[in-house]
Each structure stands twice: as C-alpha cells, then as structure tokens.
Chains A and B, each alone.
Chain A
Amino acid sequence: MSNMSFDDPETWSLFKEGRTKGVFQLESNLGRSWSKKLAPANLEELSALIALIRPGCVSGGASVLCRSTKGKLLLKTLRDIHSLGTQAIGSIISYDKDKDKFVDNVVLDVIFRGHKEVFKVIAIDLTSPKQIRFDKLKCTADHKLLTPIGWVELQNLNVGDRIASVIDRKLGIISWAEYYGCSSCGDMDTYDISMKAPHHNFIADDMVVHNCLQAVTDGKSMTQHYVDRKHNRDEITYLHDSLKDILDKTQGVIVYQEQAMLIAQKLAGFNSQESDVLRKAIGKKDADLMSETGTKFIEGCKKTGIVNEDVAKEIFSWIAKSARYLFNKSHSVSYAVNSYMSAWYKAKHTREFFLSYLYHSSEKLDPHQEVAELVSEAKLFNIEVKTPNIVKFGSKFNIDKDIIYFGLKDVKSLTGKTGDSVIEAINKLEEGLKKPAKEWSWMDILICLGAEVNSIAFKTLASIGFFTTLNTKITRNKAVYEYEIFKALKEPEKTWISENYKDKGWTTLIDCFTDLIEFKKLKKGVIAAGRVQFIENEKTLLANPPYDLTDDPAWIIDQEIKFLGCPISLAKIETSDTSSANTSCKDLANGKTGDKLCVAANINRLVTIKVKNGKSAGKLMSFLTIEDETCSIDNAVIFPESREKYEMTLYEGNNLLFCGSTSKKDGSFIIDKIFEI
C-alpha cells in the first residue's frame, strides 16, 4: 500500500456510489446508505460521517416489541428482524417519555454490529406486588437505558438506579425498576436499530433502550443535517457567528468533542484543563459534571462578553444535547483513515479484496448472508464468482484466471472434517485411478468416489454441480438420482461393482446393473431372486425416470442458496422471461435516469411501512431491494396508490417487471406499474 494516496478518484467514487461493502465502518446497510447520500470527497468529510453514524448495540437474541401491519403487538428478536428484513414487522414500538405512552415508530434498518462483549442487565420492579424481575436484556456496556434523569449508559449505572421497564406491553405501562447490577455473558452477536425521529428508542426484552446514536434537531438526524448542508440543500447556519471558524469544516454541525472544547475556550475563556473537564463530562455522559461545567461556561461567557447570557445558555444547551453522539476526533480520523485504506484496497485490488473477504466470510456470524452480499456486490465490479467443480477446486475460496471459486469447505455440509475427507478421497482416488479428477467419467465418480464419501457430502456436491463437467455430461438432478439408486444396493453388490469396475469398463449405470443382474442370477434362492427383481426395477427406473432429470433453473437456484448462501450459476430472474425489460439494475446503479424504465428483477428484500402524513396517511408503501443478473439495487420504492394495485405480487423471491421512473431528488427508482413475468 506504499503507493496509496488520499486523493484517489476511484476510491472516493466507491464512497460516492455507496459501494462500501467490506469497507471499514461503512459496510452495513446504514453505512452504505449514508456514504452514498453524503458522497464524502475527503478525509474530513469521511471522518465526520463515521463520527455521526456511530451506533451502540443490543444482543441479537433480544425480543423487540413490534406491531404487525394488521395492528397486533408481537415480539421479534433483533436477529430475526435483521435476517428476515424489516418487512417482518409493521412498525416498532417506541416510548414517548413526554406523553408517557407507547408510540409506533418506523424502522429504517437493523444493523449487525459484530461480536461484542454483552452484559445481562438485572432489575427488579419493587413497586409491583409481584416484584417483577427483568433479567433478559443483554447489551454492550456503552448502550443506553432510560432512567428518570435521561439516557444513561449501562456502564454508568449504579446499583439502586431506576431504569424504565415495561410491566404491561398492551397498555404500554412503564415502571421504574431498580437496577441490581449486570453480569458478563461473553461475546455475542449484537445489533442496533436505525429509526425515524423523534423517538430514538425501542423496547428490548421489556426495557426501554436507546437506538443508534443519532442526534436529531428539526426532525432530522445530525447526519441528515450534515448531508443536506454539504449538498447545499440547506443553508449553513450558526447559533452565533463566533462559532463559524470552529464549525465551518463540519458544515456548521457539531461533530467532535474537540469542537465543544474549542467553543468553551473561545466563548467562555476555558483553559485546556477546564475544557478537558467538559470533554470528560461529554465522554462519560456525566449529568452532574455537565451541569457544573454549564454553570462555569455561562459565567465564563459573561466575562468574555463574546455572547450574551441567553446565547451562552442556548449554546451550552446545544452542546449538552449533542453530547450523546459527540465523538473524539482523533478516533474518528483514525477510523476514517482505516476506512479509506480498505476502500482504496477495494478500488485498486478489487479481486483480491473480494477474495479476502469471501475467504474470511466463515468467521462472520451469518456466513451465508455475508457471502450473498459480497457476491452481489462483486457483480458491480464485473467479478465472476463460480461454484467449485471437480475440474477446478480448492479447500477455501480461491482465484484462478480472474475468477473467484468457492472452496469445497465453503459449501454448507462440507465446512468441517467432511470437506477434508472429500478432498482426501479425491486425492487418493487420483492415485488409484491413475488420472486426474478433471478426467474422471461420471462412473468413476459414482462408483469410486461414491463409495468413499458420505451420502450428504456426495449429494451436496452433486446439487451444486461439482460433478457436472464436459467429461461427465451429467446434470445435477441426474447425479443425485443415480447416486440414490446406487446407494440403495446392498454392500456386497456395491463391492462386486467396485471390484469389477476396472475390467468391465461400464459407461452407464444401466450397463453396470445389466451385468449385476446376470451375476445375481447365478445365485439361487428366494433372497437372490428378490434382489434380481429389485435391481431390475431400479434399472427400469434408470431407463425411464418418473420425473424430469434435467436441471430446472429454479431448483439450481434453490440448491445454491441452500448450500452456498446465494445463487451463483444463475440469477433468480433468469427463471423468467425478461425480454420486456429495457433497463438493468446495473444501469440504475450506474445512474441511468428516465421515466419509462422497465426492469425485470427479483424482489430480494421488501420493507413495508405505514405512511404517517399526507394524503396517503395510514396506507402502506414499500421499499424494495431488487436484483437481476447484473446486480442488486436497494432504492426502489412503490407508493401506496400503486402498491394497492400490485399488493398480491409483492413478496420476496418473486420475479416481476417493474416499470417506473427515477426520482430527480435522490435517484431512487419509483415503481408505477408491475407486470407478472
């Protein structure tokens, strides 16, 4: 990376286009989405972005209180919402502290935050006659819970503090349970929720917890303020002109703790030590210390006279509100540098980048999801990913002539020792048959390898097309079918076949069974006669299979999703007639605009929300991630009027022809009409 520069246009275009899968700090849906919206063009902007979207975490097993689109309250685990998509729920329940009631809120995203140490939070509601114990919630030490004095991180809670707990979900009754302590549960998968303003909380395991740390003013998150100001959609304003030189690099938005320190130094005459106390108060979210520092700040402002008391109060109140998301600039810049480095590597050594991420995908909590996302994004970079084949395979993901191949051990069912045993068996047989695996015939594979590896491994390999080569000319379906027939033979029959295979040189299983029947006929007795009839029956079924053994594309896709995590050989849309399409997903991803665009694509993800305001209030609209053979796009939208017409066709996995136009505002694809294909 010695030749890396921080002004590489290709690298910055990755951020601009939101192609940041695998890029440090910005690989989640949320990170990708904000990266695209902001389109950072330098480290300063990247650092601010990373600071602004920094989240907290709750364990994936937490049950979150949601409301279905039909209005029913239900509990869903964060892990489920993440894997099923937010369409699995209608809305999420938030607690409106001011009105002391539950309100429906819109989930924008559920973000996987990786493995982190989590702590079980224990609290008891002593006011209730039953003394309800709350001990299910597991969250990171820095996650915030609601207390009577506001949001407090778990690590800053003291035994005896009160935390908001739900004692009646239906009626939305909150009780202030007494915090009894917490205990480490080790590392677990953690998630957070991004949701619409103004209620930035949700109910997890009957406790009111904060969501992603995104501050909000004027109904917009600070990230959105930053983005709108950067793109000149909003005017950059300051509470006082004196703040301009401190905040101008961050679009007038306070992003870093250091900016708060500089404001205190400039307006209130704080020295370095005093401003560091303010930083600590911000960093530790220490309410008492903040209050004490606030008094000093206002007094200091009076002395310097740069701003009057009212403005001083307003500025400090603004700093105090911002304290919950302000981030240390040195951390953020370090993250930004790391983020840029990973993006640079992705831009300059794309194949190696994807290979590396795919290689390590097994270390992820959901390896198949990771593989699916990486393979989908690889298409945008024209990188081909293929299934392993007996002609060309390795143990793990590998690259050959610019094509990335799955390794045998990257296939579900073959990840552990089974994968090793298959590789070992192939190596051993290459010696025994005195020819490389790529030259094996189907009968070599069926009779010789079929006897060496277990049934699940063999059928898995057959199902992903491992044995389908120019030499074998066997379809995946037929390979599974013939293997099952071969496996139904008795051990002595299989042994006879193995022993005679070299001499007889059978080219089909039917020929093999013909000889086996003759051999069995030489034996006398009822059992032998029964076996002859059985093998003759199987021979009949080999010659006239009761179902079609050609490879149906939909079945290939099903099998590849099952064993590899996503379709590799075919895209789901390839099972439908796409001739009416005039645009591909890649065209849209690359910025194609227009108003008569038709895209034939598969619905990969469907998020449905209830519209809150306007003439369509109360109606449903959907956000879609659609995918064709070129790539997937996650910014397709269908508004209530159109959605009502096509409701029955809108489900994940369906292939449809989407017709519509691109939004002039944000480039999203607005669907007007849908045709079944």
Chain B
Amino acid sequence: MSNRDICVFDFETGSRNPHKTQPTQLAALILDGRNLKLKGTFDSEIQPIIDDEKAIAAGFDPLEEEALKITHKTRDELAKAPTLETVWPKFVSFVKKYYVGGKDFFAPIPAGFNIINFDMPIINRLCKRFGPYDDKRQSQKLFSPIYKMDVMDNMFMWTEGDPDVKSISMDSIRERMGISKENSHNALQDVKDTANILIKFLKTHRAVYKNLKIDKAFANGEFYV
C-alpha cells in the first residue's frame, strides 16, 4: 500500500466556505510513503481578488478580516503575491514530480488536517478550473484518486474512546503533543506540524499492525452485529 508518496498540504484562505473561498497561501510537504522521510517542500502565497466587489462579481467570497488576522496576512502584502493562475501550475508540476513511475494511478496520497471537508473541495475546484481534472469521475486528477489521509479523522479514531478528550482541533492536538503554536495558521508551519503528527501515527500504526489479528477474524462466525 505504501509505495505511493504522501502529500501533506494546507491552504490558508480568506473565508470559511471551501466552495467559494479564495486561497491566500498553499504549502505542501512530500513524504516518502515507505520510510516517511521528507522529499520535497512547496510554499507560496497567493494573490486573491483584493477588491471585495470584484471578488463577489467573480463568484468568490470576499476576504474576511478575521481570516486575514488569523493567518497574519494583510491585503497589501497579498496584493504583491503571484496569482493563483501562475502558482497553481507550479504546484501541479511539484506534485507530479512524485508520481511513482510517472503514472497518475501512483500519484501521491493527499493528507492534511480536515482536508476531507475543507482542503480537498478546494483542490477539486482548482483542478476543475485549471486542471488536471477527471471529467468522467467529476473529480481532481492531481492526487491519488482512491486514498486520502485526514489526520483529524485519524485523531478521532484513536481518541474517540477517551472521555477526557474534549477537542481534536489542531491547536488542541498541538497542545497535547507538545508542539508550539508559534506561526500556527501559516500554511507551511501547519503542514509541518500535521506531517509530524501523521508520521507519529503512521509509525505507531505500522508497529501495532504486526500484532493485529485481523486475518480470518470473523471466520469463526462470531460477528458483533
């Protein structure tokens, strides 16, 4: 399973609706699927449509001040960043560097924190707009079409039985695992932290997996439900 690389990525955005938000930063790390070592880093700020009216007219959410504050960005700074239409092809080229054997089917597995609900819809939207997009499946064609790893789901699986855990937000996890909150909500720092958590879990999974007794687990006919 682990012959594909893993792309841990994160968008910083100007609002919360993944279907209409404007990305303001995109960062990604590529991890070797086998040994989980870092293979590559991508980081770029992205110039959104600064003018709110123009953004609305173009069908996007205007930049929210709260979002700018959380991500420590200003409109003036973002106005100097390269636009999405120039950054996106670079990101596509970057990810494609890690297609095993150059084949789409062995594209990196997308990973991140809460990507299923937030970042993957943005990826789908951008792939549809700029490519690569799979028209038949109506889905992005940049990452693995099958697998994805959402660290939030992963965290939920591991902690759902613990009544003391009240939150699995990124900041709660940082605190629990002893990761500094400095520079949080900077996409690059977020992907680094997420990658560290993911690696920790994958290493734990791999160590535990050897002792799991799942082969023919129900062969004796004793089902739970």
Taking Cβ atoms with an 8 Å cutoff, the residues of A that contact B are 70, 480-481, 484, 488, 533-534, 537-538, 540-541, 545-548, 552, 554-555, 561-562, 647-648, 651, 653-654, 676
Contact, CB under 8 Å: B35 / A537: no
Contact, CB under 8 Å: A546 / B87: yes
Contact, CB under 8 Å: A552 / B206: no
B85 → chain A, closest Cβ, in Å? 7
Contact, CB under 8 Å: A481 / B215: no
Contact, CB under 8 Å: B90 / A541: yes
Report the Cα distance A283→B127, complex, angstroms.
Answer: 65
CB-CB < 8 A to B87: which residues of A? Answer: 537, 541, 546
A285 → chain B, closest Cβ, in Å? 44
**New A-B pairs, 5, CB < 8 Å, besides A488-B89, A552-B40:** A537-B83, A540-B82, A546-B44, A546-B94, A648-B210
Contact, CB under 8 Å: A651 / B82: no
Task: Pick from A534, A555, A562, A676: contact of B86, CB below 8 A.
Answer: A534
Contact, CB under 8 Å: B39 / A484: no
Contact, CB under 8 Å: A547 / B94: yes
Contact, CB under 8 Å: A546 / B91: yes
Could you write out 28 A-B pairs with CB less than 8 Å apart?
Answer: A70-B215, A480-B93, A484-B93, A488-B86, A534-B83, A534-B85, A537-B47, A537-B82, A537-B83, A537-B85, A537-B86, A537-B87, A538-B82, A540-B81, A540-B82, A541-B44, A541-B82, A541-B86, A546-B87, A546-B91, A546-B94, A547-B42, A547-B90, A547-B94, A548-B40, A548-B41, A552-B40, A648-B210
A576 → chain B, closest Cβ, in Å? 10
Given the interface contacts A547-B42, A547-B90, A555-B97, does A648 sit within 8 Å of B83 by beta carbon? no
Report the Cα distance A480→B210, complex, angstroms.
Answer: 42
CB-CB < 8 A to B90: which residues of A? Answer: 481, 484, 541, 545-547
CB-CB < 8 A to A547: which residues of B? Answer: 40-43, 90, 94
Given the interface contacts A537-B82, A546-B94, A547-B94, does A484 sit within 8 Å of B89 by beta carbon? yes
| Residue B221, interface by CB 8 Å | no
Main secondary structure of the interface of B (DSSP, over half): mixed
Report the Cα distance A546→B46, complex, angstroms.
Answer: 11
Report the Cα distance A538→B90, complex, angstroms.
Answer: 10
Contact, CB under 8 Å: A538 / B86: yes
| Residue B101, interface by CB 8 Å | yes
Report the Cα distance A554→B85, complex, angstroms.
Answer: 29
B201 → chain A, closest Cβ, in Å? 16
- B54-90 contacts to A, CB under 8 A, are 80-83, 85-87, 89-90
| Residue B16, interface by CB 8 Å | no
Report the Cα distance A676→B37, complex, angstroms.
Answer: 12
CB-CB < 8 A to B161: which residues of A? Answer: none
A538, A540, A545, most chain B CB atoms within 10 A: A540
A318 → chain B, closest Cβ, in Å? 47
Task: Pick from B34, B39, B40, B44: contact of A653, CB below 8 A.
Answer: B34
Report the Cα distance A265→B82, complex, angstroms.
Answer: 92
| Residue B102, interface by CB 8 Å | yes
Contact, CB under 8 Å: A546 / B43: yes
B103 → chain A, closest Cβ, in Å? 10
Contact, CB under 8 Å: B35 / A676: yes
CB-CB < 8 A to B89: which residues of A? Answer: 484, 488
CB-CB < 8 A to B94: which residues of A? Answer: 546-547
Contact, CB under 8 Å: A552 / B39: yes
Report the Cα distance A548→B39, complex, angstroms.
Answer: 10
Report the Cα distance A533→B85, complex, angstroms.
Answer: 11
Report the Cα distance A538→B97, complex, angstroms.
Answer: 20
A333 → chain B, closest Cβ, in Å? 45
For the complex of A and B, the 5 pairs showing the least CB-CB separation, nearest first, are A546-B44, A537-B82, A537-B86, A547-B42, A547-B94
- B86-139 contacts to A, CB under 8 A, are 86-87, 89-91, 93-94, 97, 101-102
Report the Cα distance A547→B92, complex, angstroms.
Answer: 12
Report the Cα distance A653→B41, complex, angstroms.
Answer: 22
Contact, CB under 8 Å: A651 / B93: no
Report the Cα distance A484→B97, complex, angstroms.
Answer: 14
A554 nearest in chain B by CB position: B39
Contact with A along B190-225 (1 / 0, CB 8 A): 000000000000000010001000010000000000
Report the Cα distance A203→B40, complex, angstroms.
Answer: 46
Report the Cα distance A541→B87, complex, angstroms.
Answer: 8
Report the Cα distance A547→B42, complex, angstroms.
Answer: 5
CB-CB < 8 A to B39: which residues of A? Answer: 552, 554
Contact, CB under 8 Å: B93 / A481: yes
CB-CB < 8 A to B206: which residues of A? Answer: 648
A555 nearest in chain B by CB position: B97
Report the Cα distance A70→B215, complex, angstroms.
Answer: 9
B190 → chain A, closest Cβ, in Å? 16
B214 → chain A, closest Cβ, in Å? 11
Report the Cα distance A283→B9, complex, angstroms.
Answer: 67
Report the Cα distance A540→B89, complex, angstroms.
Answer: 14
Report the Cα distance A546→B89, complex, angstroms.
Answer: 11
Contact, CB under 8 Å: A533 / B83: yes
CB-CB < 8 A to B85: which residues of A? Answer: 534, 537
CB-CB < 8 A to A534: which residues of B? Answer: 83, 85-86
Task: Pick from A533, A546, A561, A676: contact of B42, CB below 8 A.
Answer: A546
CB-CB < 8 A to A541: which residues of B? Answer: 44, 82, 86-87, 90
Report the Cα distance A484→B43, complex, angstroms.
Answer: 18
B178 → chain A, closest Cβ, in Å? 25
Contact, CB under 8 Å: B34 / A654: yes
Report the Cα distance A548→B80, complex, angstroms.
Answer: 21
CB-CB < 8 A to A538: which residues of B? Answer: 82, 86
CB-CB < 8 A to B80: which residues of A? Answer: 540
Report the Cα distance A277→B101, complex, angstroms.
Answer: 56
CB-CB < 8 A to B82: which residues of A? Answer: 537-538, 540-541
CB-CB < 8 A to A555: which residues of B? Answer: 97
CB-CB < 8 A to A653: which residues of B? Answer: 34
CB-CB < 8 A to A480: which residues of B? Answer: 93
B144 → chain A, closest Cβ, in Å? 17
B94 nearest in chain A by CB position: A547
CB-CB < 8 A to B91: which residues of A? Answer: 546
B188 → chain A, closest Cβ, in Å? 10
CB-CB < 8 A to B215: which residues of A? Answer: 70
B182 → chain A, closest Cβ, in Å? 23
B106 → chain A, closest Cβ, in Å? 11
Report the Cα distance A123→B81, complex, angstroms.
Answer: 70
B211 → chain A, closest Cβ, in Å? 12
CB-CB < 8 A to A562: which residues of B? Answer: 101-102
B39, B82, B83, B91, most chain A CB atoms within 10 A: B82
Contact with A along B44-56 (1 / 0, CB 8 A): 1001000000000
CB-CB < 8 A to B86: which residues of A? Answer: 488, 534, 537-538, 541
